[in-house]
Amino acid sequence: MSNESKNILIVDDDVDFLEQMKFHIEKMGHHVTVADSQKEGEKYIENQKPDLAIVDLMMENDDSGFILSYKIKRKYPDVPVIIATAVTAETGMVFGLNNQEERSWIKADLYLEKNLRPDQLEREINKLLKK
């Protein structure tokens, strides 16, 4: 695993969550850019390519994360995208990337529940950056 600093984009309309994520990921040694909406995230990727993106599922719309993930993958197919969501806790809906059908329309590489521990987060990020 290289210790080279990566540029991580975090898109979420929950400011507290953004700050926590930024803090943890910067502690891992990465550079973090935050955006607080799908629209802001889209603006960022117009001009810059992140090394990895973490996007909230529900922002302006219930499917903002899916849309943003799709746009990131269309422009930068090699950028890993994590969808962070509290939707399972809030609605009981379970999303996954368990089969080909789900993977074909959900362009993310990974789903993470929002209440995940920093060490889990670091493990998942490192795994995706190594691919």
Q: Which one-letter DSSP state was computed for residue 58?
A: -
Q: Using the predicted structure, report yes or no on whether residue 118 has a pLDDT greater than 50.
A: yes
Q: Which amino acid would we find at residue 50?
A: P
CATH T-level assignment (fold) for domain 7-130: Rossmann fold (3.40.50)
> How far apart, in whole angstroms, are the C-alpha atoms of residue 25 and residue 69?
20
pTM score > 0.95 for this model? no
Give the E-state strand segments of the chain in sequence order.
7-11, 31-35, 52-56, 81-85, 110-113
Q: Is the pLDDT of residue 1 over 90?
A: no
Q: Is the dihedral of CA 73, 76, 82, 83 positive or negative?
A: negative
What does the pLDDT look like over 15-52, one tens digit per residue? 998 999 999 999 999 999 999 999 999 999 999 999 99
Residue-range domain boundaries for the chain = 7-130
DSSP tag of 99:
S
Q: pLDDT band at 58, cuts 50/70/90? A: confident
